[in-house]
Structure 1
């Protein structure tokens, strides 16, 4: 009984969730996890479609191949998180901190990343088609072979980014020459 109530507290928004919480392959679709501390959590293959994760702490969390379709991650702390292969189509990440996050092969089409911090983020082969990147900090980000077709890069900081000839840019965008690959 104690273990079940502990899990229920975490899922209902208790800020004291364990940093070693294991949610491997769990179903948290439509869950309200706003303000929850899931730093370092294992959420590989987790189903978090339409979940509310506003201002949640997911720093260093492993969300490899997680399903976050339409999830609300506004203001979430995701620095150094591993989101490789994650599906974030239509997700809201406004003002989120993804500093140093791994988004290799992540699918973010139609997502809103307005004013998000992607400093030193790894976006290799990421699908950023139609993503709102207004005011985003992409300083030192790796956009190798990323697809930014129809993305809005208004006021985005592209300082010292890494990209290749395989990187697809929105029409009319010509970034400065790429830095050397990391």
Structure 2
């Protein structure tokens, strides 16, 4: 009973801090910068929600209030896009292959936002597949699990995270 009370109290305390505005426009597709980049694209895509936040009030920690209308540009060696917060951007997945330099990892995306004289920046990096943990299968099962996980980690497309939270400052 004590744990339930604590969880309920924590939810009430943090409820005011986590406001998510509803996007008024649909997702924007990122543009690929060159034909050479197009050859590295994998099947699939992912959406990353771009959100901007004012600075937290004095004495508060974390992000402040979310704002609608921040103008943001997303740029990398491979992609470009422009969004107005809160808005999703559709980012392609990239092939992950051992034959490619750095296994084909795409460059980080720099997200720059401006809103009423305040600016912020965040860096989105591509994420690779984590290796699975196998337990209770003995040494043979562990070796097979690691081999399968290693293959998956080297062939699963690179993708970006689901959200980019940009903290604005003067």
Normalising by structure 1, what TM-score?
A: 0.21
| Higher RCO (CA-CA < 8 Å; seq separation 6+) | 2
User: Which structure has more helix as a fraction of its residues?
Assistant: 2
TM-score of the superposition, structure 2-length normalised? 0.22
User: Of Structure 1 and Structure 2, which has the larger fraction of its residues in strand?
Assistant: 2
